[in-house]
Chains A and B, each alone.
Chain A
């Protein structure tokens, strides 16, 4: 299916960009007239994916995070977040709730949040090449008072 609208941007993996990235995707998604809850879900999932790029992919460096989003005419929003960082050795393990490779106060819930708040989450990764997270969520149509969409 062909996307009816597209948006792409890239940001440096600086933590100050976490808020900017989620707000940008949320603004793009706003044209689907999502509910407050749907917007929150999208912002939270994007925040998790972008934070993973900063904390894991570019752990000891600053690199580019590529964010693409597409809207389809069935109301589906697709978000792709890609890095050219260190890659994930074992994707299945990384997606297990509470699994984390960094110390401090990371809860290990990033992927669990993405999976819970979006309809689909796919992760492709290659060690030394990078990681791509593709998520989608269908925004349910809302009806106006006169019963039309």
Chain B
């Protein structure tokens, strides 16, 4: 599991890779939250291109980051979700909180 943060203007992108479950979610959360506090972006983009597995712990992770950035009026975007991840996100109705892009191969 790793998170790489890139900032361009007021857009902060977190490139998440590895597997997201209850075991790994806390570390991912901490990395992203620290970077949010430092950069205060107006758009947080979560890139799931490197994520090979995600269960509902990933939903908690996305909802928590949404709550975190929306306090400051920032928006959330999710990109590069694999079909498996997209299926979990749709089940949770995450498209109501964020703009959602599926991985196009």
| A interface with B by C-beta (< 8 Å) | 15-16, 18-19, 22, 37, 40, 43-44, 47-48, 51, 54-55, 104-107, 109-110, 112-113, 116-117
Contact = CB atoms under 8 A, between A and B. Distances in A.
Main secondary structure, interface of B, reads helix
What does DSSP make chain A's interface, helix, strand, loop or mixed? helix
B55 A47 contact: yes
Interface residues of B, number: 22
27 contacts: A15-B21, A19-B21, A19-B23, A19-B53, A40-B53, A40-B84, A40-B87, A44-B53, A44-B55, A44-B88, A47-B53, A48-B55, A51-B21, A54-B22, A55-B22, A105-B60, A105-B64, A106-B57, A106-B60, A107-B59, A107-B92, A109-B59, A112-B91, A113-B88, A113-B91, A116-B91, A117-B87
Contacts of B92: 107, 109
B23 A109 contact: no
B23 A18 contact: yes
